[in-house]
Structure 1
Amino acid sequence: TVVGVYDIPAAYVSIDAVLSNTSPTAPYRGAGRPEAIYLIERVIEAAARELNLDPIELRRRNIISPAAMPYQTALGPNYDCGEFAKNMETALASADHAGFAARRKESTRRGMLRGLGLANAIEAAAGPVPEYAEIRFNPSGTAMLLMGTKAHGQGHETAFKQILCERLGLDPDDIQYIDGDTDRVAFGMGSNGSRSMVVGGSALTLAAGKVIDKGKRLAAHLLEAAEADLEFAEGKFTVVGTDRSIALTQIARTSFQPARLPAGMEPGLYEHATYAPERATFPNGCHVCEVEIDPETGEVRLVGYVVVDDVGTVINPLTLKGQVHGGLAQGIGQILMEQVAYDRDSGQLLSASFMDYAMPRADVMCDIMIHENPVPTRTNPLGAKGAGEAGCVGSLPAVMIAIMSALEPLGVRELDMPATSERVWQAIRGAHA
């Protein structure tokens, strides 16, 4: 996705692998996708400067339109859907881009530098790796939901219960949620790559469909009707055109009474499904960041941040915002402060604990406005694209471009992350020299 959301018909990428004796790393939120978008968005900024164009206008001229979908990129990924231009225009309006010049003038009056950065983000997520879901009803009519994904703060229990309750009409309090237990869950690939809702949620949707199918056979027997004459909605089976119905919870209880089952039906109501997508999804969005820099100290302060996200079908808006907030914090941390430092002479790691390794705190952040522009994908039953890494993918370039925008009037053209106060101060001093 290093070509981003732009209509670039030809692209060439050369990668140099470097052997290092520093500490090995492992995949971290985004795992290469934030860096890819960082590259293309910085290239767009550089190209606009060379062409003497407004960088926003250059993006408008080259952004992929919905009419071009599905879009085959020059480097392999095939984007199935998205409204990239709408994301950008919505973000610009929400961030009051039109009023930025006045805000910058006011900052200058106070002796501060102000900059605005925009980044259009896209990533490949939820690749073709299988995931498992199982629904087990108890004789009492309550249910157990067993998932192969593993939650560590994302709110999976809330979202997966929400999917199950919407599909089967159950009460969330009647559902026991289990994940990560290898003694009880038959299979699972865990949570990574923004895959849990996309792949796990799709497996759950398929398992719920199997519950409805078996339940319909038993409901037809109990209601003395043909299966074709039954419809399922709001947790009950109804004979079409009549007021005769039976709740799924009653079906579940009856399924454990062999004498009431039709001939050949296995007692109990347990269903499972394993889902493997055929291709990745492509969550996307637009980030607009505004910063203020104190030229005397180099301190960077975030003063505004807007995100417009397309994660496909939104299951739970509250937990989605939590995911975006967390991703933003991690991306902002990488740009402003996070750094693994070694002693140049001995090779000794100098940032081996959080006493020495800077992490973003609440006072580093600003008020964040999050908007959704969901364009559901057709590549999975839920229409979800994934959200776990979306915040991180866009925040790296957006914050750095905002910093460079603030420093541009001074003639600063190069600055490596992390943009610590010292590095920014040194860049300002260098521009004045």
Structure 2
Amino acid sequence: MKSKVKSTIVFFLCIILIGFLAYSGVYGVTLGGYKLKPFSEVINRGLDLQGGVSVLEEVQGNNVDQKTMDRTVELLSMRVNKLGVSETVVAREGQKRIRIDIPGKFDAKEVIDGVAKTGELKFVGPDNKTILTGKDVKDATASIDSTNGNQAVINLELNQQGAKKFSDATQKFMGQTIAIYLDDQKLTEPQVDAHITDGRATISGKNQTLEEAQRQADLIKSGALPVTVKPVQVKTIGASLGSNALPLSVMAGKIGIGLVMLFMLLYYRLPGLIADIALTLYVYIVLAAFASVNVTLTLAGIAAFLLTVGMAVDANILIFERTKEELKSGRTVKASIDAGFRRAMSSILDSNITSIICGFVLYNVGTGSVKGFALTLIIGVALSMFTAVTVTRTLMKLVANIGWFNHKQTIGTFGVHDFRKGLVK
């Protein structure tokens, strides 16, 4: 009796917790000043779900090595970040092409001019001679200088060669200005107030905000691209088209998951209900994982997510069918549940591990939306194993302890006779 009461309490606490998580994921919850935002606000949306600009750049020239391509991708990423846009994608496509997807931006010319141009960073002295180039800059960051009236400043760090050049220049041009240019655009023109020998300088500006300083620091750090890139494809997805894609995708997801849950409930009854509860928790955990690792959700990603929902249910079906076989052999309900999970484990692991392997292959050799599909698939399949093996098993054992499997109307296609044999034994 004590075991039954304890199992009942634990079961309903689990249901309440899962229900709370599901509610917070859909609507958001505020507790004691801390707000749990709904997933609609925290999950990044890709270009095809909110519109934006997609630019395919091609590196000009031959014999471009891997290191140069990696550096080009890195610098383009920095330039994208300085636009103040999140959920951007900068990734290689093939040997000489780089895809830049910027959601929420609809001016293709601005993107091409501000991000994908080759650029030439240089520090120019008052004698109009170039002192440093982008190759001499090691790092540039922005911060607030509390010792100088809380001004926003740029912290500049040079490499060894740049430090030597800058030391000579600051000694020569003491009290004069050194201008910093990106192409023909003057970023800033600070005055030399000290002889700098260690390659670390602080650049301050009049009435400069921290955001402005950070933007300039990003431009200085990104410097010039090591190769010339040329846009070979520019695609703009309108805001209305992108905004329509999201609600339709969400509706498709609701219908798909709803039909799966309805099938499980009608076919397996109480075990199906347990599978639906575990599936609800699975959906929450997967979406939470997407938010925590900053996955950018695309239409392909939604398709992969719905695919993993089916795989999560498939694991439960394997477990239930194995449990049914154990009941037919005359085992008790609890023993059948344990044996059913144990016997189904090899099949679940085989199918899921092969899916994860396929996901890794797609992620490494694929491009664009294929990578998004693969990443979503890997996360979903890995978490589906967790919910099928732990959550469903725990809830099944709790329900067996409570005694709800004693009623034939709760059994469904498990078979009344099978359960009766287990209960009698």
TM-score where L is the length of structure 1: 0.28
Report the structure, 1 or 2, having the larger helix content. 2
The higher relative CO (CA closer than 8 Å, separation ≥ 6) is in 1
TM-score where L is the length of structure 2: 0.29
